[in-house]
Structure 1
Amino acid sequence: MTGASDAVMCRGFFATLDGQAQDWFTTLPEKSISTFADLSGKFLSYYANNILKKKQFASMCKFEQGSTKTLTDYLTRWKKEARSVENFDEKAAIPIFTGNVRSGPFHRDLVQNRPKTYVALLDRAARFAEAEEAEKKKKEEERGRRDKRGYLGQYVKRSGQGRPQGPGNVWKKKGGSEPPASGSRKRELDQLTEEEERESGEPHPPKKQVIHVIFGGPEGGDTQSERKKWARNLYVGEVVRQPHEKKQRREPIIFTDDDLPDGPLPHRDALVITLDINNTIVHRVLVDTRSSVNDMYYEEFTKLGLTRKQLAPVRTPLSGFTGDSIETEGSINLEVEIGTAPHVKRWEVEFVVVKIECAHNIILDRPALEDLRSIISMEHLCLKFPTPTGVGVARGD
């Protein structure tokens, strides 16, 4: 906006509004704004109650880190609070910030090496906060490796927390003795011999009992006949998935030298085609993939025999035509036909009507081109698209 006229700035300001603010702008009386200063003054006056009141600088003295907040949290909240303070004094903020920080390595560093500027203070705080977060993450990773004890590790007591497991705590079948565990069974129970531990070269945590599967119990009955009857009554469901729909095979779209336009290359021309819109042949249709709306100029709109009553309102102005915002006349959906028989495609296109002069009648942009599923080649100066009878072509005119 640097160096722009007041008219351009006023129109550009409207493009930034939304909701109630946009409604307020549209209610301004015609010719009531002569300069951008008038517009900004009316806007600030109308929304004066919405302006946040600035806090006094003394409020920063009460802004302490606390015992549970990380340095990252404190720094973020401090910056946010500082932006809401009126006449913020950066020099006076250095000792206040230092005094509000919780005791620790960072506070000690600030006391021993007092920052010379407020910017240096925030930079040092950011570096300490980053180091604090990295150290916290490192400790969590190390703790996670120590705590990893199998699927039920979080439920197993650590060594020394409970009664030591001895022979008296092992369940044995009455009248029998505990069978010796084989080598594979030992490994299954995470029980290695001293020789195996020495060979591994790594310390092992205290041995824990592992529970794999729990089954049995009175489910279904206590007798075999009761359990068989219970099993026969169980509901057996079936998961059915609908078969995937076969995707329609499309004829490949390719461009060859036969598609090249007459004349020398490179041509540097724009792609301008002809369309059938509302049963009328319309020339000078510019194909443009940079915009998000399909544009129709008002003169062409009237030539198609259409009236304003058929337009749907469009409240958002368009930008990008001449550097400022353009008010639209409205939008309309029309049937469009492209291609030559037998490879013809008809589809519905939404056009936004604008009342300005242009060398083209229509600008066909991304929405219509995507719905058409077209492939564009600027070198060949044509676009191709799939149709029920094959690949259709629209060549540059």
Structure 2
Amino acid sequence: MKQTKTYLSKTVEELKPSGIRRFFDLAAGMEGVISLGVGEPDFVTSWSVREAAILSLEQGYTSYTANAGLLELREEIAAYMENSFGLEYSASNEMIVTVGASQALDIALRAVVDPGDEVIVIEPSFVSYIPLVNLAGGKGVAVQTKKENDFKVTPAELEEVITHRTKAIILCSPNNPTGTMLNEQDLEAIATVAKNHDLVIISDEIYAELSYDEKFVSFAAIEEMRERTILISGFSKGFAMTGWRLGFVCAPKELTEAMLKIHQYAMMCAPTMAQFAAIEALKHGNEDVNGMRKSYRRRRNYFVQSLNEIGLECHTPGGAFYAFPSIERTGLTSEQFAERLLVEEKVAVVPGNVFGQSGEGHIRCSYASSMEQLQESIKRMKRFLERQF
């Protein structure tokens, strides 16, 4: 009898499981663990947002919406993008409400990538980028950034890997896992490369609301870049709505029409009650977002300073809620460090190598935890370092 495994797609069979999930699973089986590995807010979604979803259910709004999402929600997104980032997108034909930013990234790649096309991924990067490129039939090409440059990519680094097959670049600012945020000058340098080589930019801006020291600048706001940018964002991080699975993608009409065809066949529409919740979040959630951002900034300042004080060199992240300290002085690989820290001190972090080759020698720590947990985790990490090294 033929083995079931022989039916598998070679592309899927070659995909590696998420390195992040492995450490979540290890930590889940232990008591007393402080988890700094979870990439989601520790805040509960605002009550008014939850109430809006409940009200939509009570009123019987349980049917499909338009494929692109509720028009009212798209209009609120359009207003939000203009007021917050100076971007103008048509609610009628330049945006799609998706099932999280992850689905937005998936349909963006499938809309622009042909078999054999190369897509540049700037590492350290979120673990799904290269697998999604591969699933779209393309080839992910990694660019390794350097800690000496705070993990910012340079035009020269991009030029080294561009070939005649290069189709697009995936950007993530603020970045997961490093927290690095690209300023206007950084983006303009990348824009020059994109224009010279006629490349599409897929800009993951899911952490746009969580910038701490300078104003966030969208890649689509850079001169002449709007027409070649697919902007991806959502409600998970800034609005503390991870479980609602709601994102959106904004792009010029021709690109949006292509993505909508894929969305129609693969997903139909995003969850209706989540869309009503998002309308409330955009209308009245600004105060809550500001409060969360201030809290994260306080925690960042404490945590990064403390990491440096105990001997784990760490640059100050400009956004998101991750610190990415170096553990090179210990002589351990990032996986060895993370496993021993978990077993010996019950602190869960993510080894940097799961985010790409340039992540080796680092660990990702989420400071989306209570100050008490952050303080205790620093005590445990200090004890671990003093005992072993």
Scaled by the length of structure 1, the TM-score of the pair is 0.22
Return the structure number with greater helix share: 2
- The structure with the larger Rg is 1
